[in-house]
A = this chain, B = another copy of it.
Amino acid sequence: FKNTIKRIIQFAKTVKKIGDDDPRRIAHSFKVGFALTLVSIFYYVTPLFASFGVSTVWAVLTVVVVMEYTVGGTLSKGLNRAFATLLAGALGVAAHQIAVLCGDKGEPVLLGLFVFVLAAAATFSRFIPEVKAKYDYGVMIFILTFSLVAVSSYRVDELIELAHQRLSTIAFGVATCLGTSIFVFPVWAGEDLHKLVADNLEKLACFLEGLAAEYFAEKGATEDMDGKSFLKVYMSVLNSKPTEDFLANLARWEPRHGRFLFRHPWSQYQTIGVLSRQCAYLMDALATFITTLPKHKPNMDQDRHLMIQTACGEMSSESAEALKELSLAIRTMTTPALANHHASNAVAAMENLKDALSKEINILPNDLHMATTASFLDLLVI
């Protein structure tokens, strides 16, 4: 019994946390409830119900299925649904007209054949990457509508009227969803993507900052680094690809909003994402390096050691500054002013170190951050 109470409390805490993490989620839940109630008025008001009849079902169904968290999601699903229904409905009616020509016996056979061929072809098209990315839902609705129209045409007499009723209720459902998601506390996929990319750059900067402050500090190299928080901060960047791709895909559907225009260069964000991940991979390698290798003090004179340490620290902190600058520039949508300066400082520090060490083959992987950071700058043409 005690366990049950514990679990309920635990569960309530989880729920509260989800709401606190992003209050827009609560707003979204209410929006769905609101849109559904709005659309069900069709049923309650007698004259409205009389003109649409049982097809009113489709308005409710559309709202539940099309309503997504972001504006881009709702738009992409809504437009996919509307156009796929229109196209498949027309094709279904055409299939019916052809099948009727074959007489009573031939009709179901021919209809069955049509459904089989079109469903198989459309299903296969969902494996094409471009279709999958943008029109997956549309193709599914296409198969659905075509099968429904073609198959039920065998039983229904006023096919055109039925199709018309369905189409208008679906259109009404889509319109309700779009209205609710664009005008009531909109959640823009583009804005989320923008924030995610800037956040990720900042996380990378935090790692480098931590590196400079803790590992390349006076006693850093001999201290135990396990459990330092800066060694975890880049982790979420490693697997950011699916979220980024998902958001970028939805952002392309969104109209002008805030400081984002209609054809905002979303693919640039994905390019920055790829570079951020490359950076994060290097950091992961460096972090493994720092935490797993035994700390045997190198036998070399103190001066040299100090020199290397200082140079590495400088490289890290300058790169961190540059990344922070870039992150800020993305956030405020301005040209980064000081990033170039910091990056060239970092590169200079690296060159100095290299000169000093030219007789050794010791080149810390850290250097590589510089190369990547530098390539960031070239790409920042937003």
Contact = CB atoms under 8 A, between A and B. Distances in A.
A365 B241 CA distance: 25
B61 A148 contact: yes
Contacts of A183: none
A144 interface: yes
A151 interface: yes
Interface in A253-275: none
Contact of A124 (B26, B123, B143): B26
A320 to B, nearest CB: 19
A33 B368 contact: no
Interface string A2-39: 00000000000011001100000110111011101100
A367 interface: yes
Contact of A57 (B148, B296, B372): B148
A149 to B, nearest CB: 10
A377 interface: no
A237 to B, nearest CB: 11
A362 B300 CA distance: 12
Contacts of A365: 285, 289, 365
A30 B115 CA distance: 11
B144 A64 contact: yes
Given A282-B285, A285-B282, A44 B112 contact: yes
A352 interface: no
Given A43-B152, A49-B155, A292-B371, A37 B115 contact: yes
Interface of A: 14-15, 18-19, 25-26, 28-30, 32-34, 36-37, 40, 43-44, 49, 54, 56-57, 60-61, 64-65, 108, 111-112, 115-117, 119-121, 123-124, 127-128, 140, 143-144, 147-148, 151-152, 154-155, 238-239, 241-242, 277-278, 281-282, 284-286, 288-289, 292-293, 296, 298-300, 358-363, 365, 367-368, 371-372
A111 B40 CA distance: 10
A294 to B, nearest CB: 9
A174 to B, nearest CB: 16
Given A239-B242, A241-B242, A288-B372, 6 more contacts: A30-B120, A40-B151, A43-B151, A278-B288, A282-B285, A289-B368
A36 B116 contact: yes
